[in-house]
Chain A
Amino acid sequence: MNAIEILFWLLSALAIISAMMVLLSKNPVHSVLWLIAVFFAISGHYILLNAQFLAIVNIIVYAGAIMVLFLFVIMLMNLNKESEPKRNFWRILIGIISGGSLLMILVSLIRQATEINNKNALMESGNIGLIKTLGKLLFSDYVVPFEISSVLFLSAMVGAVVIGKKE
Chain B
Amino acid sequence: MNAIILSALGGIVMMFTGIFTQNKIVIKNIAIITLLLLLIGNLLHFYGIYMLHVDVKDMLQFNNFGLFFNTIAFTSTLIYFLLSGTDITKVGINVAEYFALIFFVLCGVSILTSFHNLLMLFLGIEILSIPLYILTGADKKNLKSNEAALKYFLMGSFSTGILLMGIALLYGASGNFSIESVPSTTSKVAEMANSSILTPLGLLFVFVALLFKVSAAPFHFWVPDVYDGAPSVFTSFMATIAKAVGFIAFIFLFESRIAELGPSSRIIIPFVIILTLLIGNITAVFQQSVKRMLAYSSIAQAGFMLFVLYSNNDISSEGILLYSVAYSFATIGIFAILIKMKDYTFEGYNGLAKKEPLIAAANTIFLLSLAGIPLTAGFFAKYYMLLSAIKANGQNALWLVIVAVLFAAVSVYYYFRVIQAMYFKEGNPEIATTNTSFKVILLALAAIIIFIGLFPTVVLNFLYF
Contacts and interface: CB of A to CB of B under 8 A. Distances in A.
B198 interface: no
A152 B123 contact: yes
The prevalent SS among residues of A at the interface is helix
A167 B138 CA distance: 11
Contacts, number: 74
Contacts of B141: 167
Interface stretch (B89-97, B219-227, B314-322): B89-97
A163 B120 CA distance: 27
Given A141-B57, A151-B11, A152-B123, A163 B137 contact: yes
B138 A162 contact: yes
A27 B111 CA distance: 47
Given A151-B8, A152-B126, A167-B92, A159 B120 contact: no
B140 A142 contact: no
Nearest to A140: B57
A165 interface: yes
A161 B97 contact: yes
Interface in A140-167: 141-145, 148-149, 151-152, 154-156, 158-159, 161-163, 165, 167
Contacts of A144: 54, 56-57, 59-60, 120
A34 to B, nearest CB: 26
Contacts of B15: 158
Contact of B101 (A145, A152, A159): A159
A162 B111 CA distance: 24
A158 B10 CA distance: 14
B97 A162 contact: yes
Contact of A167 (B59, B93, B107): B93
Contact of A152 (B127, B137, B192): B127
A162 B104 CA distance: 14
B247 to A, nearest CB: 22
Interface stretch (B36-44, B128-136, B208-216, B397-405): B128-136
Contact of B120 (A148, A155, A161): A148
A148 B11 CA distance: 13
Contact of A163 (B8, B93, B100, B140): B140
A151 B57 contact: no
A127 B96 CA distance: 47
Contacts of B92: 162, 167
Interface residues of A, number: 20
Interface in B1-46: 4, 8, 11-12, 15
Contacts of A152: 123, 126-127, 130
Nearest to A160: B134
A105 B216 CA distance: 35
B119 interface: yes
A161 B97 CA distance: 9
B130 A156 contact: yes
A160 to B, nearest CB: 8
A142 B119 contact: yes
A128 to B, nearest CB: 14
Nearest to B133: A159
B127 A151 contact: yes
Contacts of B117: 145
Contact of B97 (A142, A143, A158): A158
Nearest to B127: A152
Contacts of A143: 57
Contacts of A149: 123
A66 to B, nearest CB: 14
A161 B92 CA distance: 13
Contacts of B97: 158, 161-162
Contacts of A161: 94, 97
B59 A159 contact: no
Contacts of B120: 144-145, 148
B138 to A, nearest CB: 7
B121 to A, nearest CB: 10
B11 A167 contact: no
Nearest to A151: B8
A155 B119 contact: no
Most B-side CB within 10 Å, residue of A143, A152, A165: A152
A31 to B, nearest CB: 24
A142 B123 CA distance: 13
B119 A145 contact: yes
A158 B56 contact: no
**Chain A to chain B: the 10 pairs with minimum beta-carbon distance, closest first:** A159-B134, A155-B104, A151-B8, A162-B94, A162-B97, A145-B119, A155-B131, A144-B59, A152-B127, A144-B56
Interface of A: 115, 141-145, 148-149, 151-152, 154-156, 158-159, 161-163, 165, 167
5 contacts: A145-B120, A148-B123, A158-B15, A159-B131, A162-B98
Interface of B: 4, 8, 11-12, 15, 54, 56-57, 59-60, 92-94, 97-98, 100-101, 104, 107, 111, 117, 119-120, 123, 126-127, 130-131, 133-134, 137-138, 140-141, 188, 192
Given A145-B123, A155-B104, A167-B92, 4 more contacts: A144-B57, A151-B11, A155-B130, A159-B130
